[in-house]
Amino acid sequence: MRYPTKAIGLWLTVAVATSAGGAPMIVTASDVERHVVYHSPSTPGYTCWVSAWLTSDGGLRLAFHQATGPLTGRPLARKDVREALGWPPAGLSVGYDMTGTVQQIITLDSRDGGKTWAQVAAEPFHTPMNGVVSGYRALRETDSVMRCVWGMYLPYYDVPQTGYLQRSTDGGLTWGPPILLADPAKGIPIPKSIRQLRDGRVVAIGGYIPLSDEVATFRQGLAHIETALWWSHDGGATWSEPQVVLAKADGVSPTEESDLAELPDGRLLLINRTNAPDRWQVIMAPRGDGYEVVSRAQAPFPHSGMPDVLCTREGVALHVATSNVSATTDGGKTWQDLGFGTPYYPVSVQLPDGRIVTAGHRGSDDPYDGSVDQQIEALTFRVKAE
């Protein structure tokens, strides 16, 4: 059985990878290769938090954060700013305060499927935080790119001090005004990822902090995050109210770090990085004009960074992580480890030739003190189900 789906610049199909009897198929990976994509002009380097997307003309782009400048002796952010953001987190070194560094969002372009790269943009920003954007996604019908922004991490800018989206119409070189996901008086969105479904609907995935008499600020709300989705039927121009899919009432402590994939049968598979040392998966089924949760369960993966979930054109859904790349062909009922892990905070796309490119960074959530020489790395591979 095959379901049509429109990809950037061409029509493709997604196959349902199950045997005639409905049992899961055996998934294998081949042509696994690792590449160094980029190193900062400084050594040790500080480059992290990668996004990846395909351009409408067949290119592949990466965007990530870079910091350069003195490793020690830097000033700290103002006390009121640090207190409002809870930064650096308790118990972590002042090296996490990025004040006094030169910060940029670097954008690279590849015209040969990730073999070679050219820098096409360097967007300056300044914040004590070590990252502000994520989840870049190309949207088909609008020929544009959207990204998630944490405005509360940009305290020195005249932007909404909440999570919002931005759109680019030139491939991620320049960005339009903020697009709000929620009424700031009602709650604080914390978007992390954007996906487009086969029918054209766009979904933003992340966390949501409902405001109340007890929770009035972002810092107060960090212990009250719910995993939520926002829906757009007009290419990302307007958005629905948040749909909460995982909360403490479900017996778990969720975070904003989630990703989802649309399965070949039309259901959605969401993986959340919880505060406990485990992960949870949520299955949602179409109901009317939307989706409803049909199951929540602990996922069989170790604790790791931001989840990356990809449904390939072979009908294989992947959970991509530093610990292992895992595959399911039965909608998350069973998972198969493919035997290799990825760089930290991975993000994956599938090229028109079938290869999967997973980009991330060497290191983890590191301070800016020279203790880790970060660089941007990529992993390429193919999958087969039989």
From first to last of the 386 residues of the chain, give the pLDDT tens digit: 222 333 333 333 445 566 545 688 999 999 999 999 999 999 999 999 999 999 988 899 999 999 999 999 999 999 999 999 999 988 899 999 999 999 999 999 999 999 999 999 999 999 999 999 999 999 998 889 999 999 999 999 999 999 999 999 999 999 999 999 999 999 999 999 999 999 999 999 999 999 999 999 999 999 999 999 999 999 999 999 999 999 999 999 999 999 999 999 999 999 999 987 789 999 999 999 899 999 999 999 998 899 999 999 999 999 999 999 999 999 999 999 999 999 999 999 999 999 999 999 999 999 999 999 999 999 999 999 99
What's the number of CA atoms in the CB half-sphere (13 Å) around residue 234?
5
Q: Is the peptide bond before 88 cis (omega within 30 degrees of 0)?
A: yes
Question: Tokens 């030739």 appear where?
Answer: 353
CATH numbers and ranges of domains, the chain:
2-385 (2.120.10.10)
Q: Which two tokens stand for residue 265?
A: 């049968």
Q: Position 27: which residue type?
A: V
Q: What Cα–Cα distance (Å) separates residue 331 from each residue in 94, 112, 177?
A: 43, 33, 38
Q: How far apart are the first and last CA of the chain?
A: 15
Q: Which two tokens stand for residue 143?
A: 């020929």
Contact 368, 98 (CB under 8 A): yes
b/e sequence 46-71, b meaning 16+ C-beta within 10 Å: bbbbbbbbbbeeebbbbbbbbbeeee
Q: What angle do CA 235, 238, 243 make, to 5 degrees?
A: 100
Q: Which two tokens stand for residue 124?
A: 């300056």
Contact 195, 261 (CB under 8 A): yes
Beta strands 344-350 and 336-337: pairing type? unpaired
Q: DSSP state, 338?
A: -
pTM of the model: 0.93
Cα separation, 383 vs 312, in Å, equals 8
Q: Which of 192, 198, 323 is nearest to 261 (CA)?
A: 198
